Amino acid sequence: EAGVVQSPRYKIIEKKQPVAFWCNPISGHNTLYWYRQNLGQGPELLIRYENEEAVDDSQLPKDRFSAERLKGVDSTLKIQPAELGDSAVYLCASSLDVERGGTDTQYFGPGTRLTVL
Amino acid sequence: SQQGEEDPQALSIQEGENATMNCSYKTSINNLQWYRQNSGRGLVHLILIRSNEREKHSGRLRVTLDTSKKSSSLLITASRAADTASYFCATDAFPAGGFKTIFGAGTRLFVKA
């Protein structure tokens, strides 16, 4: 079974440029998460989707960040315009909720390492 | 702010020794999970312990949970060089604003061959 797929793996851009990250969760997983991980820190949740609905986006900087999960499958996270402080690893994870026979376990993709110059 | 706090921040041991990492949190939780992250990789789930459980085992891993002290520990027995990684605890809780998974800053474990 394929795991969570993310692309690109690496991205280098100049500040003020836009950037987008893509995530394809594990087939059948209804919950999708986007995290940001700064160097030496744990992941910090940006947004959580239940199917196509964003149920927690309280940590998403909405002035420059946006996300979508059309059709409740894959998802895109966008930053426009990027700032120097956005340099981090952006992780996507998915899970199958308990009501559908899953657990609270989240399965992570390899992440996208963003460098803003 | 992150709820989980791991201790120690870094740990260096010899192969074959046991490694113990601790995690403390602040609010009531539904469950607590431990994840491992190898350098440059995504996180891999290790073990989940629910709030009504006190101890859980999985292979060389032993996790304890003390909800009265709001703390958990991860013990890796007979460590191997391949166990070198960062270890994170993550709590599923219901702070103001609804359900949330919160990760700590992690413990960096280095196992010397």
pLDDT higher for B103 or A101?
A: B103
Alpha carbon of B2: minimum distance to chain A alpha carbons (Å): 8
Q: What confidence tier does B96 reach under pLDDT thresholds 50, 70, 90?
A: low
Count of alpha carbons within 13 Å of A60, Cβ hemisphere only?
Answer: 22
Contact at CB, B2 and A44, closer than 8 angstroms: yes
Chain B residues in contact with A33 (beta carbon < 8 A): 101
Contact at CB, A108 and B30, closer than 8 angstroms: no
Contact at CB, A104 and B99, closer than 8 angstroms: no
Among B35, B101, B107, most A C-beta atoms within 10 A, so best to mutate, is: B101
Q: What six digits make up the tokens of B63?
A: 């996790």
What is the sign of the dihedral through the CA atoms of A114, A115, B1 and B2? positive
The answer on pLDDT for A100 being more than 70 is: no
Q: What confidence tier does A79 reach under pLDDT thresholds 50, 70, 90?
A: very high
- Tell me the pLDDT of chain B averaged across its residues: 90
Least confident window among A103-107, B17-21, B40-44, B106-110: A103-107
The answer on pLDDT for A43 being more than 70 is: yes
pLDDT of residue A60: 92
Contact at CB, A108 and B31, closer than 8 angstroms: no
- Residue among B41, B101, B104 minimizing CB distance to A45: B101
Q: What six digits make up the tokens of A59?
A: 């940590």
Helix (H) or strand (E) holding A21: strand A19-24
Q: Residue A49's closest CA among A71, A72, A26, A27?
A: A72
Q: What six digits make up the tokens of A76?
A: 């895109």
- Tell me the pLDDT of chain A averaged across its residues: 91
Tell me the CA distances in angstroms from B78 to B17, B18, B22, B83, one per residue in order.
5, 5, 18, 10
CA A66 and chain centroid, separation: 10
